[in-house]
Amino acid sequence: MITQQSIQSDCISRSDFETLFNDHYSRLCAYAYNFIKEQEGSEEIVQEVFFKLWINRSDIKIESSIISYLYRAVRNASLNLIKHINIRENYKQHNKEQIEQSEQLDSDPLNVSELEKKIRASIDLLPEQRKKIFILSRYEQLKYKEIAEKLGISIKTVENQMGKALQFLRKELVEYLPLLIIFFNHLINGE
Amino acid sequence: MRNENRHISDTLLAKFLLGETSQKEQQIIIGWLEENIAHRKRLDQLEEMWLETGKINPRPIPVNKHLAWKVLNKRLDHHEKLSSTVLTKFSKFKLVLYSAVAASVLILLGLFNWYLIDSSQKQEFLLTNNTKTTLTDTLPDGSKVHLNQLAQINYKPSADGHKRVVQLKGEAFFKVKRDTLKPFIIHAGIGSVKVLGTSFNVKIKKNRDIDVSVKTGRVELFYPNKALTDTLHMVLRAGESGLISLQKDSIIKMKNPSAFFWMDKKLVFRNKPLKDVFEVLEDCYAVKINSNNPSINNLNYTSTFINKDINEVIKVVSTSFNFTYTSEGNTYTILELKKDE
């Protein structure tokens, strides 16, 4: 775990930095995406924040934790981008809502449960195509048919990939899910 | 649990959960669920997992963090290599600025290793305009470029072949051949311009500010600001102009009605106050325009000039308002006739 002290002294190693990057990259991208609604741009922002953090590691004054520094930097860069782009009209209102929403979210963006961490890490582990399909289904609420059209693949492939994704995530997450209790309820109620 | 997989796969259960099953499939699953409490448990787990994954916020996007780390790692290597050689030559400020420019350029373009690769693999194209007129040529990718006097470009595809990269000095008009897979990027000193296929003008001014005007299509401007906190970004569409300003440390949207004048010798004024008209003319023809009555500055003017010299233009403007004018060298004075005369 990288602490405030270690990032400020010059002795943080590249591999510690890699760990920090791996632990937070996906979620920071998702955080940026919340504001700017564009994946490529989100990744650019997060890359840039990490890049600056590394090259300025001896100069940057980090007042709270390194994690909240990252989130604040990503948010500032995202908002700055929005200010400078004429975002397509239909996104404007949406963005406004998103910013309001994420400001609430931002009140404690770092308070993440173990389960949530595990879910994110598990989604990250999915192969690229499967991850894409899962995210389109789960978070964009697209039907199989729509996903197939969007990605230019067959519905059968979407079905199979979703099956594998859900199977994998169930196995990954099973011990974190509070299902045992429900299972006992079934027994007690004689269902 | 493995045994059950033989009968009902997670693929079918996933379809069931997401409402993608046919009626027949639904019947099969309902029957299967009633067979055994363990079946129920398996579906419950799957459903629970589905519900839990939906709760996370911000919602994930499909990024590839291993690839992303590779990109960043290379950039960091490049940066460190760069700073160790440059450090001795430049002041810290310059270094910071340089790395900022390098940083934005690299992150946006993923060009981090262009310098490493043998240049013989790439078709490079260098063009300098030492003539007194506009120079027109075609780049290896088929894009057209017009160079203003003293302008210079150096065109080079990136090492990975995914980008077309131009280093620009001075002023040039580009008509970029569309290739959505290979963005066309212009590095213009303090900032950069990225396009896919469009026509636009880029001018690096004496104070290093970058003036960009778009004729067709869409271009993006990038500028890493001095505080090193952000890379600013702006999209311009046809008819729009933007200025990457060192002094303002930002990108500003502005009007530039004469951006293409040096190329097409065409001026269009639509309901423009004379003050602005005069400014444009001063800029395009390198003249000075005065008037004997400042109030005429607010009169609006509409007209189009193609291939006209400054005398003709001044004459037409004056005549349309019933003014006269005098000229002395490069200075024109517009005279408003007194009403009682």
Nearest CA-CA distance, residue A144 and chain B, Å: 7
CATH code given to domain A112-191? 1.10.10.10
Q: How confident is the model at residue B267 (pLDDT cuts 50, 70, 90)?
A: confident
Residue B339 predicted with pLDDT over 70: no
Q: How confident is the model at residue A49 (pLDDT cuts 50, 70, 90)?
A: very high
Q: How confident is the model at residue A88 (pLDDT cuts 50, 70, 90)?
A: very low
From B37, B46, B73, residue closest to A186, measured CB to CB: B37
Residue B104 predicted with pLDDT over 90: no
For residue A99, the model assigns a pLDDT of: 52
Q: How confident is the model at residue B131 (pLDDT cuts 50, 70, 90)?
A: confident
- The answer to whether the CB atoms of B72 and A51 lie below 8 A apart is yes
Q: Which residue has the higher pLDDT, B32 or A6?
A: B32
B34-42 — which CB contacts under 8 Å span 24+ positions?
B36/B4, B37/A186, B37/A187, B37/A191, B38/B1, B38/B4, B39/B4, B39/B8, B40/A186, B40/A191, B41/A179, B41/A183, B41/A186, B42/B1, B42/B4, B42/B13
Residue B87 predicted with pLDDT over 50: no
Residue B181 predicted with pLDDT over 80: no
The token pair that represents A12 in the structure block: 């943080």
Residues of chain B contacting A56 with CB distance shorter than 8 Å: 228
Average pLDDT over residues B9-22: 90
Nearest CA-CA distance, residue B316 and chain A, Å: 38
Residue ranges of B 81-100 with Cβ closer than 8 A to chain A: 83, 99
- The answer to whether the CB atoms of B49 and A177 lie below 8 A apart is yes
Residue B22 predicted with pLDDT over 50: yes
Alpha-carbon distance B124 to B48, whole Å? 58
Residues of chain A contacting B13 with CB distance shorter than 8 Å: 163, 166
- B292 shares contact with chain A (CB less than 8 Å): no
Which range has the worst mean pLDDT, A146-150, A184-188, B29-33, B327-331? A184-188
Residue A164 predicted with pLDDT over 90: yes
For residue B75, the model assigns a pLDDT of: 87
Residues of chain B contacting A128 with CB distance shorter than 8 Å: 62, 64
Q: How confident is the model at residue B338 (pLDDT cuts 50, 70, 90)?
A: low
Q: Which residue has the higher pLDDT, A7 or B172?
A: B172
User: What DSSP designation does A111 have?
Assistant: -
For residue B91, the model assigns a pLDDT of: 46
- The answer to whether the CB atoms of A179 and B231 lie below 8 A apart is no
The token pair that represents B268 in the structure block: 């269009």
Q: How confident is the model at residue B109 (pLDDT cuts 50, 70, 90)?
A: very low
From B18, B64, B235, residue closest to A128, measured CB to CB: B64
Identify from B34, B48, B53 which residue to disrupt to test chain A contact, counting A C-beta atoms within 10 A and taking the largest count.
Answer: B53
Q: Which residue has the higher pLDDT, B110 or B138?
A: B138
Q: Which residue has the higher pLDDT, A100 or A84?
A: A84
- B232 shares contact with chain A (CB less than 8 Å): yes
Nearest residue of chain B to residue A185 (CA atoms) = B41
In 3D space, the residue among B315, B215, B309, B301 whose CA is nearest the CA of residue B258 turns out to be: B215
Alpha-carbon distance B157 to B165, whole Å? 6
Domain regions of chain A by residue span: 1-111, 112-191
- B144 shares contact with chain A (CB less than 8 Å): no
For residue A98, the model assigns a pLDDT of: 53
Q: Report whether A77 contacts A49 (CB < 8 A).
A: yes
For residue B115, the model assigns a pLDDT of: 38
For the segment(s) A1-111, the CATH number from 1.10.1740.10, 3.40.50.80, 1.20.1530.20, 3.40.50.1000 is 1.10.1740.10
CA A124 to chain centre: 9
For residue B118, the model assigns a pLDDT of: 35
For residue B37, the model assigns a pLDDT of: 86
CATH code given to domain B265-336? 3.55.50.30
Residue B96 predicted with pLDDT over 70: no
Preceding peptide of B58 cis, ω within 30°: yes
Percent of chain B scoring above 90 in pLDDT = 6
Nearest CA-CA distance, residue A72 and chain B, Å: 11
Average pLDDT over residues B300-324: 87
Residues of chain B contacting A113 with CB distance shorter than 8 Å: none
Residue ranges of B 52-71 with Cβ closer than 8 A to chain A: 52-65, 68-69, 71
The token pair that represents B86 in the structure block: 């440059």
Average pLDDT over residues B168-194: 87
ipTM of the prediction greater than 0.85, yes or no: no
For residue B224, the model assigns a pLDDT of: 78
**Ramachandran region of residue B167, left (φ > 0), alpha (ψ -120 to 50) or beta?**
beta
Average pLDDT over residues A109-118: 74
Does the B119-254 domain belong in CATH 2.60.120.1440?
yes
Residue B296 predicted with pLDDT over 50: yes
Average pLDDT over residues B101-121: 44
For residue B319, the model assigns a pLDDT of: 87
Domain regions of chain B by residue span: 2-55, 65-109, 119-254, 265-336
Considering chain B, what is the average pLDDT of its residues? Answer: 79
In chain B, the largest separation of any two C-alpha atoms, in whole Å, equals: 108
For residue A148, the model assigns a pLDDT of: 93
Average pLDDT over residues B258-283: 83
Residue A166 predicted with pLDDT over 90: yes
Alpha-carbon distance A153 to A145, whole Å? 10
Q: Which residue has the higher pLDDT, A44 or A185?
A: A44
Give the 3-state secondary structure of residue B21.
Answer: coil
For residue A104, the model assigns a pLDDT of: 47
- The answer to whether the CB atoms of A170 and B45 lie below 8 A apart is yes
Average pLDDT over residues B74-83: 81
- The answer to whether the CB atoms of A85 and B99 lie below 8 A apart is no
- The answer to whether the CB atoms of B69 and A18 lie below 8 A apart is yes
Q: Report whether A45 contacts A74 (CB < 8 A).
A: yes
Residues of chain B contacting A94 with CB distance shorter than 8 Å: none
- The answer to whether the CB atoms of B62 and A27 lie below 8 A apart is no
Alpha-carbon distance B158 to B115, whole Å? 9
From B49, B68, B228, residue closest to A173, measured CB to CB: B49
User: What DSSP designation does B223 have?
Assistant: E
Alpha-carbon distance B313 to B291, whole Å? 15
Give residues with Cβ within 8 angstroms of B103, minimum separation 6: A48, A51, A52, A55, B75, B79, B224, B231
Helix (H) or strand (E) segment spanning residue B215: strand B210-216
Alpha-carbon distance B211 to B254, whole Å? 9
Q: Tokens 């994690």 map to which residue?
A: A67
Average pLDDT over residues B269-298: 86
Helix (H) or strand (E) segment spanning residue B84: helix B65-86
Which range has the worst mean pLDDT, A23-32, B21-30, B232-241? B232-241
- B40 shares contact with chain A (CB less than 8 Å): yes
For residue A110, the model assigns a pLDDT of: 58
Alpha-carbon distance B65 to A20, whole Å? 12
Alpha-carbon distance B45 to B30, whole Å? 16
Considering chain A, what is the average pLDDT of its residues? Answer: 77
Residues of chain B contacting A160 with CB distance shorter than 8 Å: 11
For residue B93, the model assigns a pLDDT of: 52
- B109 shares contact with chain A (CB less than 8 Å): no
